[in-house]
Every structure is written in C-alpha cells, then in structure tokens.
Amino acid sequence: MNEAAEVERAEALFAQGRTAEAVAITEALVARPAPSHTALAGHSGALKRDGRSLEALEFDRQAIERFGDSPIAWHNYAATLDDLGRAEEAVEACENAFRRGMDAHQTFAVYARALRAVGNHPRADYAYRQALIRAPAEVGVASEFANYLWMMTGDLKVADSALDAAFHAGAPPAPLLIAKSTLYQAAGEHERAFSLIEKASERLPDDAFVHMAAVEYALRLDRVDLAEAFSRRAEAVEPRSRSVIQYSAIVDLAASRPAEAFAKLQGALKDHPNDQSLWGWMAVAARAVGDPLYERLCDYDKMIGVYDLETPAGWPSLEAFLADLAQELKAVHVYKQHPTNQSMRHGSQSMHMLAGSNAPPVKAFFEALDKPIREHMARLGQGDDPLRRRNTFDYRLVGAWSVRLKPNGFHRDHFHPDGWLSSAFYVETPDEALDSPERQGWIRFGKPPFVTNPPMEAAHYVRPKPGRLVLFPSYMWHGTVPFTTDEVRMTIAFDAVPK
C-alpha cells in the first residue's frame, strides 16, 4: 500500500468534512509495526486538523525518536509544541531542525511565534524576516508579521510596509487587501479601511471573500445599502457557500428583513448543525422575529455560569494567588497596541496558547478551572438544543489567552466560532468603573456587533470581580462596556469543546 497516497486520501476526506474517516485512515497506518515517518507525520497532521494536538504530539515524539536526523521530524514536533503553547520546547525543537539542515520559511515562522511567546522579541523579529526572505510572497506570514509589528510599535506605516513588501514580491492581492483593511481599522482609520476594501470589491469581482469583508466594513459604518450591493456580489460568485449565506442573512437583519434571515440561517444549519457562527446569528434572527428559539438559545440565567475560583493549593489566599498570577501575566503584556484581528481595543493580548505555560501560577490556574467547568457542564445537563446536545460532561481546551485593557478599553461584541463553552476570568478589575451607572467594565450579552433593524441592545450583564469565572455558550454574543477610569482590566479567556 502506498502510504503517501493514503495520506492524500485522508486529506481529501478532510476537505469533504469527513473527519472521522480521514483520521481512521492515518490511524491504520501508524498501527502497523514500526510505522514509517510518512505514517507518523500523516497521523499527527490528521489529529491536529481534528483539533487533537496533544494526541498528535505523541506521534511527533515517536518520529524524532526514530528519525532523529530528519529536519522535517523536528519541524513537525516544533509546530505541534507551538500549537500547545509549549514555547520554550518549540524554540529548542526549531533550533534542532536548523542544526539538521532545515531552511524552510515554515520553520522560521514557527520559530518566530515561539520566540515571541517566550518574550525574545528581537530574535522573533529576526525569525519573521528570515521566513519572508525565503518566501517573500507568503501572505500568511506577512500578515502575521504586520500584526506583530503593529502590536510592538503601534506604528501603522511600519506594519503596513510588511504587507507592501509581500505585494511587490507577487503575493495574491485579495488576502493582502483584506489584511490591510483589517490593519487600518485596528488603527482607527475606518474610512480608509472601507475605501480600500470597496475598491478591492470592484476590482476583484470573482473573489467572494473580498465581497464578504466589504459587507462587514460597510455594516460597521452603518452603510446598509452598500452592504446589500457587496452581498449580492458574493452571492453571484458562491451562492451556496455557508459564509456567503450567513453574510446575506446579516444584511437582511440590517435591512429590516428578519424573517428572510431566519429562513436562510435555518437552511444553512441543516448542513452545519454545530456551527457556532450560524447559531450566533440565528439567535439574533430569532429574537428579531419573536421566535421562541431565541429563549432556547439564550437562556441567560441557566446557560451563563458565574463561579468564584477556589484558592489553588500552595497559596495562602485567593488574593495572594491572583497577585502572583497578575505578576506572571504582566510579563506577557508588553505590546503597545491591540491585535488587528481580535475583538479587543485599547490594550494588549497574549498571542500564544496560554495553557501550555510552565509558570506555576498559570499552571495552577488551569488546574483550578477543572472543577467549575465540570460543575457547569453538570448544571447544564443534556438536551436537544445546540449547547446541551453536545454535552459529553468532558472537555478539552482549544484556545487560552490573556487580555489587559487600558482606560477606554473594551471588547467589541463578538462570539467564539471555534468553541463550545467560552469564558472570562478576572485577574484585575477596574473597581471604580464597575460601580458606575453605565456598568463600565462589565461583560454584556446579547448585543450584535452591527446595525440591526429593529435595534437590539444587550439583554444580560455580569459584574466582574477578581477571581470570578464566567462561562457561557460560545455562540452567545458578548462584549465589554468601555470604561473611562484610570484603571486596568486583566483577564484570562479560553474556549473548550466536548471531548
């Protein structure tokens, strides 16, 4: 049997959404005596595509034990370590790959992310530039580097230059133009961002992703008529695309056609029943038309859990633990600006999987989370709604990060498309702001991010306090009421999915 062909067959099944069949193929390859490097790498890749990076790491480890002279084996090991947030080990694995002759841009990109995570920023800058020397038109790396430069320097021109260099090297224009618009919007240049994406939509008529980006930018400026035009362009290119249908429904909600939005989302959910983005917008549509589905999707009192963390072992009090945790996290928050592609504004965000940290307070935090998460799953129980029907009473984390908001900081209203349960844990809170009549600094639920007709305001609020964990469905809209006091707000957030 040709193992490479089997791995390619698994890739094809992944593309069709047939995940279980794809993993079964590579699993059979590694079940043989003394599996080859191709088999080990193929199965690791399949597990990672299924969101099971911790399991994948074992097969990458087998590969470096059996094929230790292979730079590819060391690259794969480094990439999985980086996925898991084990940055120090990922740095070492990359350097082992380099010592064995690896010179690929992909390895330098992994190296850059890992160096960034351990706080070696001069070396991370070097690694990004080395990656782009080897692949100057690689849009993904160029966009990541531009985002990194923006966060580190706060200089729009410096960040923009990384995207311009990729363009002049021959990178495809559509993803670069989307990245540029995202950068401009993050810098507060909303009209410039919209103008650029509007021109891109006109000049790239066959690119549905550009048209969908234009829909979003138009709606952020309350230009519903233009959003309609961009949506029609996207539908003309890919009328059956799940994303195009979703954006069409979003425009319907802005244009006083909630019944049409409800019908479109209902149809899309038949093919994508666990899609958190579709459920998030379905909640808005159901609320707009007065359908009882809204109450089932957004039963705030029962679906949102508020838990005060118990003091982890080794600390005399919760206050002492939070002080140590805050000190550890502050070392991560060295960025001058917020990321370009995230919901938060006016602050900084960690850019690696925080759950992989070896720092004792961070490790203790993630260990202490287990009890409230399991308590919340037990409290939810099982049922036929999109949240409870997936409840297995077990979980794994698929993302974990920290955010530090400065005065006037906030999170735009958003949901988490890759999660099942999402969270906010409060390490430090702006206490003076929290007591304001406007509920400054509170987390709010139920307010969509774009204009809707009829308008929708937040339907539920939770007051933060240090040591408090808030758990909620990942499809549920949530954001932060901006605070204006001279204080900071530091949190840890994570997404969990059923195991």
* Residue 205, amino acid: P
Residue 410 has pLDDT above 90, yes or no: no
Render pLDDT for 206-243 as a digit per residue (tens, 0 to 9): 999 999 999 999 999 999 999 999 999 999 999 999 99
Alpha-carbon dihedral 360, 366, 368, 369, rounded to 10 degrees: 160
Question: Would you say 394 and 499 are in contact if contact means Cβ atoms under 8 Å apart?
Answer: yes
Cis, bond preceding 454 (omega within 30 deg of 0) = yes
Helices (H), 187-292: 190-203, 208-220, 224-237, 242-254, 258-271, 276-289
Q: Which residues pair with 414 in a beta bridge?
A: 478
Q: What is the pLDDT of residues 423-449, one digit of tens each?
A: 999 999 999 999 999 999 999 999 999
Average pLDDT over the chain reads 96
* Region 268-278 average pLDDT: 96
* For range 47-69, the mean pLDDT: 95
The pLDDT of residue 322: 98
Q: What angle do CA 387, 391, 393 make, to 5 degrees?
A: 145
Query: Residue 396 has which token pair?
Result: 């794994």
Give residue 1's pLDDT band: very low, low, confident or very high (50, 70, 90): low
Whether the predicted pLDDT of 422 surpasses 70? yes
pLDDT at 168 over 80: yes
pLDDT exceeding 70 applies to what percent of the chain? 100
pLDDT above 70: residue 334: yes
The single residue listed with the structure tokens 């069949």 is 21
Mean pLDDT of 109-119: 97
The CATH classification number of 301-498 equals: 2.60.120.620
Nearest to 41 by CA among 52, 51, 26, 20: 26
Residue 4's pLDDT is 84
| Distance, CA of 263 to CA of 288 (rounded, Å) | 13
Give the mean model confidence (pLDDT) for residues 324-328: 97
pLDDT value at residue 78: 98
Q: Please determine, for residue 313, whether its predicted confidence score (pLDDT) is greater than 90.
A: yes
Q: Is the per-residue pLDDT at 420 higher than 70?
A: yes
Q: Does residue 408 surpass a pLDDT of 90?
A: no
At 343 the pLDDT is 87
Q: In what order do the strands lie in the sheet with 460-462?
A: 460-462, 443-445, 478-480
**Sheet strands (E) in 412-450:** 421-428, 443-445
Going from N- to C-terminal start, the domains of the chain cover 251-292, 301-498
pLDDT given at position 11: 87
- Sign of CA pseudo-dihedral 370, 373, 376, 377: negative
Q: Does residue 94 register a pLDDT over 80? A: yes
